[in-house]
Structure 1
Amino acid sequence: MVMFRHWGARALYVVVIAAFGVFGNAAASAPADGDLQMVIVLSRHGVRSPTAKPGALDVYSFKPWPKWPVDPGYLTPHGKQLMTMMGGWYRAYYADAGLLPANGCLNSASIYVTADDEERTLESARGLADGFDTHCALDVHASMKSGPDALFSHDFSNASDADRNLAAAAVLGRIGNDSAHLAAANAGLLADMQSVLLGCAPGSCTAAQTTGKKMLMDQNSSIAPSNADGLISIKSPLHVASTFAENFFLEYVEGMPMSDVAWGNITPTKLGQLLTLHSSYSDISERTPVVARAYAGNLATRIAATLQQGAGSKPVAGAIGKPGTKFMFLVGHDTNIETLAGLLDMHWMLSEQPVDPTFTGGALVFELRRAAMTNEYTVRAFYVSQSLEQMRQSTPLDLQHSPEKAAVFIPGCSQSTPGYDCPLDRFVSLVSRVTSTSTH
């Protein structure tokens, strides 16, 4: 299966085959170079149900959407099982790297787990903890929803009109100052999505099939400063189709029968292609630097402080957890990963997935290392995610059957070394620069 992203008139076709940092079924021993000091895992929650209320989206489709075993937006039992598997893999991987013991309960003072204060994130964190430290008691902390201690949520109640106007301008400035370009640039995939929704070939839906239904291309297009809690309001057929692509993905990785995945109108290959709609919308709505800074500036600053604290073994203002922490799970949402990556201009590819995937259970990982010869501290980043089939089939994970893993280059910081190591002081300076309002 090949997944690709359309943008403008260009099409980027990607097939990534076990090269730098991608592990398929080969052994995935952690690199031994450098003395590993600390690991921060910024993870998305596991497989959840769609957030829309049952029946709310039926007006777009020729059949009702499938039923789920949990309330809208909640983690499914299957989703928690997959998170537990990922937790077990992290334990095996970092035991192999020498950071942790392979067996037995861990020193609770050296592990810190925190999650956004929502059911799906808290339960995902508990699943990770169960797999990471099986039969032992790891506390899961709930992050505040607002204020300086909020890691995952965003409160823009104090944002000015100038802030919102700048965010809207930044997005419009990427798309030729015309919100309709979002749909026009993705017209082919939007037509494919429309045919899946109505069960007809592209361009051949009859009046009987479309009567009483909302059509994707009939949706309004506009980009404007938000008058609500956010910074920006984006309306587009691409936005609507992005939600549907994500829901098809959730149906697939939940393990629903293929007759229930997009009502049987989709193949795994077609799913991969339609997910480009989701990644294209996320690129505009989350990765635009002005928007990314507003959403992820605090998180980036606190991750940098936490890495500094790990290097110095003494308290650093703004750091997450306490000195002596060796391993940290931060469990949030795809938007947290996307905005942080947008802020730092970080990108990755995995085989058979869209560009810059942020699938359920996937994570952006930061390792703090100390060079044996120079004692210099460096930061190494990678993205890791179970494949679609691993999620769908509940494939057991170990060092020989790992999730996919891609090394990530941090522009303005990384060096041409294995793992693209980034000196810690340069990483801290980079974060300070990109989060400063005076630089934008």
Structure 2
Amino acid sequence: MRLASLAAGLALVASSIAPAQTPPPREDKLERVVIVMRHGVRSAMSSPVELGRYSRRAFPRFKVPAGHLTANGATLVTMLGGWYAAQYRQLGLLGASDCAVYYWANHTQRTEATATALAAGLTPGCAAPIHQSAAAPDPLFEAPQTPLAPLDAPRMLAAISARVDGDLAAWDARQTPDRDRFEALMLQCRRIPCSTTERTRVQRRLGDTPITMRIDATGKPDLTSPSLQVAGIAESLVMAYADGLAFPGWSGIDAATIGKALTVHGAGIDLRTRTPEVGRQTSSYLAMRLLATLQRGAGATALADPIGDAEKIVVVSGHDGTVTMLAGLLGLDWALRDYGAGEAAPGGGLVFELWRRGATGKSIVRVRYVAQGLDQMRYRIPLSAQTPPEIVAIPVPGCGDPCPLPRFTRYVLDQV
């Protein structure tokens, strides 16, 4: 398919599924934005040999070390940064050559490189230092160092257990149809579920994974099950597709099929990272500093240090858990066409916008989730008003969209 035709098709599909978003009144003024994002497309964390034990065909090979941002990943994030720049110039937040963006990244190659790549698109020509904590681990990203909610593994595990009524095996059994769909893609089965014969054609099967729910030797919650085993394999599949890698001998490798196969992965993410107690222990510090950043200059008393130095946009470059655990803490939900519900897409992020009402002068908060679609990444479709990334408006629970800043403040404080 020619790229122009594909781009037009993507725009048509996006317009048909995007939720209705009421544009802000023209007299409203956008004052600040905080973007909490996942790093861009990275290489698999496991080797192709290890991943290939679960698939009938050889798994694609990346060209960079395990867990590193790929060259295409950097290009895609830069494209996204360019879209943000155009968007916020149009909304009057940024000037034509505005450098008022602050970048903060976790201490990993992929998060640092993602921040650098985003800056190349969002603030081209600007000196854009990537800020980090003086010591690792950074409490914005690492739970054991979070001052507001020190890790309490038994309490966290109890909260996860309560969501499955203490029966992880029963939860796993409910995921069977979606797990079968994922397995059928990996094993290239003709029917769903795969036959016994087809399942014996690989070295390892998802069903071989034991079901456990315990505290591990490091003192952290540890959950395993056939459905949860999908996580690392699914992430590697998504990254390989988004990176534009070839899948020799594979059939059914397209965005729609992968999106359907990711349903079971989304369920696992929801259980492991979006349980509110998990978010409270891992993301309270980030939530408080995010809130303080939005409150700066809005006449509110902040209870934590803001991120940055009064820049118009603050970017926090982290991991999938950075996004999903913060979302779990704040009860923020979204669904994209190409991913499991609530999944953090490569380069995608939660976007918090602070607006001032022109009629009343009062501050309001709008929350969005923004991410490139799988085909937008695989084919490096330029982002524009005609082919935008996927954007989901997210109402704040009990407050809506938009949410007055005082109510948003009370809501955040109630969750942490």
Q: Does the CA contact (< 8 Å) of 1:16 and 1:351 recur in 2?
A: no
Percent identity over the alignment is 35
Change (3 A) 1:92 1:229: farther
Match of 1:9 in 2: none
Residues 1:275 and 2:262 are matched in the alignment: yes
Q: Pick one of 383, 387, 390 that aligns with 1:404.
A: 390
Pairwise mapping of residues 34-433 of structure 1 onto structure 2 (< 5 A)? 34-102=28-96, 104=97, 106-107=98-99, 110-143=100-133, 146=136, 150-155=139-144, 163-201=152-190, 202-206=193-197, 210=200, 213-228=203-218, 230=220, 232-259=221-248, 263-264=250-251, 266-312=253-299, 317-322=304-309, 324-414=310-400, 420-433=401-414
Give the structure-1-normalised TM-score.
0.84
Per-residue CA deviation, residues 347-397 of structure 1 (Å, 9 max, x unaligned), is 123345432231101110001111122221111111111111111110111
Q: Does the CA contact (< 8 Å) of 1:37 and 1:311 recur in 2?
A: no
1:161 and 1:379 mapped to 2: Cα distance? Answer: 28
Deviation at 1:158, TM superposition (A): 10
1:40 and 1:360 mapped to 2: Cα distance? Answer: 18
For 1:45, the aligned partner's letter is H
For 1:288, the aligned partner's letter is T
Per-residue CA deviation, residues 27-80 of structure 1 (Å, 9 max, x unaligned), is xx8864521111101111100111113423333233442211101110000000
Structure 1: gaps spanning 5 or more residues: 1-14, 23-28, 415-419, 436-440
Q: Does the CA contact (< 8 Å) of 2:60 and 2:246 recur in 1?
A: no
Q: Does the CA contact (< 8 Å) of 1:16 and 1:350 recur in 2?
A: no
Change (3 A) 1:116 1:16: farther
Per-residue CA deviation, residues 205-226 of structure 1 (Å, 9 max, x unaligned), is 428x627722211210011234
Per-residue CA deviation, residues 256-283 of structure 1 (Å, 9 max, x unaligned), is 23437xx335443321111112111000
For 1:278, the aligned partner's letter is H
Change (3 A) 1:349 1:57: closer
Classify the secondary structure of the residue corresponding to 1:329. Answer: strand
Change (3 A) 1:112 1:264: same
1:406 and 1:212 mapped to 2: Cα distance? Answer: 39
1:381 and 1:228 mapped to 2: Cα distance? Answer: 36
For 2:359, the aligned partner's letter is M
Classify the secondary structure of the residue corresponding to 1:426. Answer: helix
Classify the secondary structure of the residue corresponding to 2:406. Answer: helix
1:127 and 1:161 mapped to 2: Cα distance? Answer: 33
Q: Does the CA contact (< 8 Å) of 2:336 and 2:390 recur in 1?
A: yes
2:237 and 2:222 mapped to 1: Cα distance? Answer: 24
Structure 1 vs Structure 2 CA RMSD: 2.8
2:42 and 2:30 mapped to 1: Cα distance? Answer: 33
For this pair of structures, how many residues does the alignment match? 400
Match of 1:18 in 2: 18
Classify the secondary structure of the residue corresponding to 2:411. Answer: helix
Give the structure-2-normalised TM-score.
0.88
Change (3 A) 1:159 1:97: closer
